[in-house]
């Protein structure tokens, strides 16, 4: 039997599970808008999750918890940006296939984090650490139902409320955002304006890595507060689907993450409802939605015209 309490709990969990994805898609939108397809967000997110947990674990005994968690989040962003730097070098500087580069980063991240996790925490693994605190916002948290769902969350979730709005403003209301969009649609025009397409693409891919790392930290330091090998479980690929559903708009892509977060929260609860349906079906729901989105079945979408195409200045002058 489904009651109001279960619906409130489902709504709160949906927001909590959507928050890491909403942060990740911001960077993904920026990278793809500049012309670089970043399928490596899954690995960057995983690296961020591991780095965040490990940093919190080693720093917590030596400093206030708040500072340890802040340092963990910053370290996660730096780790994700480092992985983004690898992807940018391979794709922008060397002109490597962007899909292959992303897949290589994902595989490398999985192997590296598994190895370092065993070295840091041993075979027992799940060592709980300090994480983002839960904060009930004054007044807003007192609103019936909505207060519990939206305004009684961790600090990482509140970041997911603010960052997409800021990203939208920068993308469509600043000259920097215009340069990013031009790099993905008309790179020769960017060169003509005296700007560097490679520098713009480097910056956006580094930003994408940093946001993926932060998303991984929010995932690991939110409710669970520990790291397990492969804990991102394909969320980086789900973020790619959200970007398509959101039509390469930071705010719409972040909003699309609510759909995937709701599906993920539902599959966790549907298994306890006794519906007589194999639980494996419910576990597939978020990934099925991602496949539907990537296949283009949720409306027609128009990606940046130069997405996935390496740019060489000398080629534009032929």
Residue 292 inside a domain? The answer is no
CA distance 223 to 162: 20
Average pLDDT for 87-97 = 95
Contact 112, 48 (CB under 8 A): no
Q: How many CB atoms lie within 10 A of CB 194?
A: 6
Would you say residue 256 lies in a domain?
no
Which residue reads 């580094």 in tokens? 206
pLDDT digit string (tens) for 172-188?
999 999 999 999 999 99
Helix (H) or strand (E) holding 199: helix 197-219
- In the chain, DSSP finds a helix count (H) and a strand count (E) of 13, 2
Tokens of 12: 């709160």
Q: What is the model's pTM?
A: 0.91
The mean pLDDT value of the chain amounts to 88
SS3 128: coil
Q: What is the pLDDT of residue 287?
A: 78
* DSSP letter, residue 123: T
Packing angle of the helix pair 175-185, 4-33 (nearest 10 deg): 70
What is the structure's pLDDT at 127? Answer: 79
Strands (E), the chain: 134-136, 152-154
In a domain, 286, yes or no: no
What is the per-residue pLDDT for 318?
Answer: 40
User: Is residue 106 domain-resident?
Assistant: yes
Residue 220, domain member (yes or no): yes
Tens of pLDDT, residues 32-74 = 999 999 999 999 999 999 999 999 999 998 999 999 999 999 9
CB 31 within 8 A of CB 210: no
pLDDT of residue 312: 82
Model confidence over 117-173: pLDDT tens digits? 988 887 666 778 999 988 888 888 888 888 888 998 999 999 999 999 999 999 999
Q: Check: CB of residue 157 under 8 Å from CB of residue 17.
A: no
Q: Rounded distance, CA 152 to CA 135, Å?
A: 6
pLDDT given at position 203? 97
Q: How far apart are CA 97 and CA 240, in angstroms?
A: 17
Contact indicator for 78, 87 with CB cutoff of 8 Å = no
d(CA 88, CA 205): 6
Write phi, then psi, for 152 (nearest 5 degrees).
-130, 65
The distance from CA 143 to its chain's CA centroid, rounded to whole angstroms, is: 29
* End-to-end Cα, the chain, rounded Å: 68
Place of tokens 């200045």: 313
Handedness of CA 273, 274, 276, 280 (dihedral sign): positive
Q: Which two tokens stand for residue 270?
A: 């549907």
Domain membership of residue 261 (yes or no) is: no
CB 308 within 8 A of CB 37: yes
pLDDT at 260: 85
Give how many domains the chain has, as a whole number. Answer: 1
- Give the range of the structural domain holding residue 157, as residue numbers without chain letter: 18-130+147-233+302-316
The answer to the question of residue 42 being in a domain is yes
Give CA 133 to chain center in angstroms. 20
CA–CA gap between residue 199 and residue 183 (Å, rounded): 10
Please enumerate in sequence order all residues whose Cβ is within 8 A of that of 166, keeping only pairs 6 or more positions apart, or say none.
Answer: none
In a domain, 262, yes or no: no
């Amino acid at each position: 039997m489904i009651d109001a309490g279960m619906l409130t709990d489902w709504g709160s969990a949906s927001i909590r599970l959507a928050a890491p994805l909403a942060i990740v898609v911001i960077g993904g939108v920026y990278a793809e808008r500049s012309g670089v397809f970043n399928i490596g967000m899954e690995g960057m997110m995983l690296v961020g999750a591991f780095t965040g947990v490990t940093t919190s674990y080693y720093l917590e005994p030596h400093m206030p918890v708040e500072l340890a968690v802040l340092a963990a989040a910053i370290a996660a962003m730096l780790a994700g940006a480092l992985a983004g730097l690898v992807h940018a070098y391979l794709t922008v500087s060397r002109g490597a296939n962007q899909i292959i580069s992303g897949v290589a980063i994902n595989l490398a991240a999985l192997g590296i984090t598994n190895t370092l996790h065993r070295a840091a925490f041993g075979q027992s693994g799940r060592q709980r650490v300090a994480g983002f605190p839960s904060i009930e916002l004054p007044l807003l948290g007192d609103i019936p139902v909505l207060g519990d769902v939206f305004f009684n969350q961790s600090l990482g979730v509140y970041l997911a409320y603010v960052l997409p709005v800021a990203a939208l403003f920068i993308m469509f209301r600043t000259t920097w955002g215009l340069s990013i969009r031009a790099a993905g649609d008309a790179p020769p025009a960017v060169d003509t304006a005296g700007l560097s397409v490679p520098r713009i693409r480097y910056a956006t891919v580094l930003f994408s890595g940093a946001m993926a790392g932060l998303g991984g930290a929010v995932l690991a330091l939110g409710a669970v507060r520990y790291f397990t090998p492969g804990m991102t479980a394909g969320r980086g690929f789900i973020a790619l689907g959200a970007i398509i559903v959101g039509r390469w708009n930071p705010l719409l892509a972040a909003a699309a993450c609510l759909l995937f977060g709701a599906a993920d929260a539902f599959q966790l609860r549907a298994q306890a409802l006794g519906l007589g349906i194999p639980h494996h079906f419910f576990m597939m729901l978020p990934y099925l939605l991602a496949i539907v989105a990537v296949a283009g079945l949720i409306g027609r979408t128009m990606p940046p015209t130069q997405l996935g195409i390496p740019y060489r200045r000398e080629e534009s002058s032929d």
